[in-house]
Amino acid sequence: MIQATDIELRAGAELLLSGATFRVDSGDRVGLVGRNGAGKTTLTKVLAGQVQPAKGVIATSASVGYLPQDPRTGDLDVVAMDRILSARGLDDLIKRMRQCEIDMGSEDEKVRDKAMRKYASAEESFQTAGGYAAESEAASLAASVGLTVDILAQTLGTLSGGQRRRIELARILFSGSETLLLDEPTNHLDADSIVWLRGFLANHQGGLVVISHDVELLEATVNRVFYLDANRQTLDLYNVGWKEYLN
């Protein structure tokens, strides 16, 4: 799903990682660990395709969902729920349907007829993409990370940074991406949401790379550990769970 070959990372002139080759396949749930400043966040950005490595090649064969530490949520005038739905393109279809509903109230018969045809086309695409069941799924995911109906109805610009980060987490989980790259996903989550997230990630059937200081999350989810050694600029790979890694 992700193949990294001979990867070199740098922060300016400083070498962070050299000669790293590894794979993340379906079923691999990787805990990426190392001291602060070792380059963990930089490596996830490279795996997500957001930045290029100094050397080496990243090849992906499936969809990737990436949650950075400080996610950019895009247009702050967008309604929070629409932002989540955008992960599957449902937000645009809903907007088209809403506009058609307005146009179907026109006194102009031609406008009404055109709107009805457009509505039928948009609704068909909407149902193909999961339709109202997908909307319900998105709402359920949002509730699981502590987002109320009132929050989902607000525009992003009216929300706190923590609320916007939870919106992005819900969006990434809703996307259905086969490989998830999550940088400190428990930030801004309450205790119940963290417990829920542990279960969700433990049952994820695709690939996962997670950076987290939540030891219980690592214990519950990971079956591989990648240790980024800042002193040797190497990535050590361990095909064991978190408890076995510590022992």
**0.75 exceeded by the pTM?**
yes
DSSP string, 179-202: EEEEESTTTT--HHHHHHHHHHHH
> What are 229's strand-pairing partners?
234
Q: Does the pLDDT at position 2 exceed 70?
A: yes
Please write the tens of the pLDDT for every residue from 74-91.
788 889 998 998 887 777
Cβ proximity of 150 and 69 under 8 Å: no
Between the alpha carbon of residue 31 and those of residues 23, 66, 103, 214, the distances in Å are: 13, 15, 51, 11
Q: Which two tokens stand for residue 80?
A: 């929070």
Mean local confidence (pLDDT), 103-122: 84
Q: What pLDDT score was predicted for residue 73?
A: 67
Q: What pLDDT score was predicted for residue 171?
A: 95
Q: What pLDDT score was predicted for residue 139?
A: 94
Contacts by residues 145-148 (CB-CB < 8 Å, ≥ 24 positions apart): 145/169, 145/170, 145/189, 145/193, 145/196, 145/197, 146/189, 146/190, 146/192, 146/193, 147/80
If you ran DSSP here, which 8-state letter would residue 159 be given? Answer: S
Q: What pLDDT score was predicted for residue 120?
A: 83
Q: Does the pLDDT at position 107 exceed 90?
A: no
The CA distance from 142 to 127, in Å, is 21
Please write the tens of the pLDDT for every residue from 196-228.
999 999 999 999 999 999 999 999 999 999 999
> What are 227's strand-pairing partners?
33, 236
Mean local confidence (pLDDT), 229-240: 96
* CB hemisphere CA count around 119 (13 angstroms): 15
Q: What is the maximum span of the chain, computed from C-alpha positions, in angstroms?
A: 75
Q: Which domains does the chain have, with CATH numbers?
A: 1-62+178-193+205-247 (3.40.50.300), 90-128 (no CATH)
